[in-house]
Each structure stands twice: as structure tokens, then as C-alpha cells.
Amino acid sequence: MSAKILLVDDEPAQIELLRYNLEKAGFQILQADNGRDAIWMTEEHEPDLIVLDWMMPEASGIDVCRELRARIDTRLLPILMVSARGEEGDLSLGLDSGADDYITKPFSPRELVARVRALLRRARPSLMQDVLEFHGLSLNPETMRVERDGVAIHLGAKEFQLLSVLIERPERVFSRTQLLDMVWGHGVYVEERTVDVHMSRLRRALNKTADGGAPRPDIIRTVRGTGYALTQPVAKSK
């Protein structure tokens, strides 16, 4: 089953370029050339992800993003904002409006496809069949199977989602707020302490050995006052 992508842009040449590259990557494509139609098509066709241009007639990408985030049925829909505006304030506004990611023009088609795959892998792992691997750790989004050094690891739903985020971008530090948005969703009130609780469960599961022996080297790094990252494990000295 291929993911359904809604492209929203009022520039015909741009939308054709995006359509060509995303269809080549195996995605189904819908398209709209203004904000109002984008909202209508989202209601009618239920896309798995939206690639949304900032500057459009009738309703801007920011307006569309805010409206979709205000609705219960679309508040978790992955949105990739596209814009020629690359200033830090514009980036913050795009993300604060509810976009999950932001890409600045000009960009390569390969980067766009990679960003789309990344968002889908986090939000709809069943649509993506890539097996993610990092230093003996593997995660299969399709089967929801996790292994470390060939041994199966059983995780709860939230722990699996947290690991999916971390393993996609190893060594990157994710703040608790970012993890809450990615795993629990925008606009959902959950205390940041909840992230710590689930991350502790994830760490225990990943480090536990089948025979009850010494724990495996820790693969999750805690950055005090900030958040967490998946990092190369360091064996403890004897």
C-alpha cells in the first residue's frame, strides 16, 4: 500500500516537478492550487501527508496548517511546509503553526522525498517498509519488530514510537517538547515528565539481556535539561 500525498502549490511548474519525483518514489499524488481546495481535498480524500506551500491565494499555507491542526480528525496529519522564506523567524512561524517539518526553496527533489519518507516513517510506519538500523539495533516499521544484536525486544506502543523517532536521526538530540509533539501529537496536553517515564522503559528494554546477565551498553543518551538522543553505545570498562 503506497502513501497518498497531497501537493498544495499555485505554481504549475513546481507542482509538476514535485509530482514527478514523488510518483517516481512510489507515492500516490493528489494536488490543489489554493488553500481552500487543499482543505476540501483533505476532507474528501484523507491524504497520508501534505506538502504545503506557504504563499498561496485564498488561504496561505500558514492558515491551512492552523485550520487542519484545529480539527480533531486532521490534527495529527503530517505536514511538510515549503517556502522561499528562509529566515529563522519564518521557520519558527511555520513550525509554530503546526507544520511537522519545513523545507526552503530551492531544494533538491531527493531532499524532498527524504523528508516525506521521514515524516511518514514517524507518523504512519505501516506505510513504510524500510528497516532502520543503528549499531546492532534494528527497527522494522511494517512489522513493528525491534531487535538488538539479533534478539527480539518487546516494546509498548509509545516506546516503539519514541525509538522510531530517535533511530531515524541518530546522534540528534530531541527535546522533550519535540518528542511530545511527534509521539503524542500537537495540541495534546501531556506533562514533559511523561517522556522521561517512557524513555526509562525504553532504555531498560533495549539494555536488558535475555539470560539475565549484565545489561547491554546504553544506546540512549540523556542530555541534562534538554532531551534525548540515540548514540553509539560505549562498553563499560571492567
CA count, 13 A, side-chain hemisphere, 218:
12
Cell triple for 58: 485564498
Reported in sequence order, the residue ranges of 54-113 that DSSP labels E, i.e. its strands, are 79-83, 101-104
Domains of the chain and any CATH numbers: 4-125 (3.40.50.2300), 132-230 (1.10.10.10)
Average pLDDT over residues 166-193: 81
- The reply to whether omega before 233 is within 30° of 0 (cis) is no
CB contact set of 181 (below 8 Å; sequence gap of 6+): none
Statement: the pTM of the whole predicted model exceeds 0.85: no
pLDDT tens by residue, 38-73: 999 998 888 989 999 888 877 788 888 889 988 887
Q: What is the pLDDT of residues 183-192, one digit of tens each?
A: 887 666 778 8
Looking at residue 94, what is its pLDDT? 56
Sheet containing 132-134: order of strands: 132-134, 137-140, 145-148, 151-153
Which range, of 21-35, 110-124, 219-233, averages the lowest pLDDT? 110-124
In terms of DSSP bridges, do strands 227-230 and 220-223 run parallel, antiparallel, or are they unpaired?
Answer: antiparallel
C-alpha dist (Å) from residue 123 to 24, 58, 148: 21, 29, 23
| Long-range contacts of the stretch 144-152 (C-beta < 8 A, 24+) | 148/206, 148/216, 148/219, 149/216, 151/210
The better pLDDT of the pair 197, 62 is held by 197
Highest mean pLDDT out of 24-33, 78-87, 173-182: 24-33
User: To the nearest whole number, what is the mean pLDDT of the chain?
Assistant: 84
**What whole-number distance in Å separates Cα of residue 12 and Cα of residue 9?**
8
Handedness of CA 48, 95, 110, 29 (dihedral sign): positive
Q: Is 158 left (phi over 0), alpha (psi -120 to 50) or beta?
A: alpha
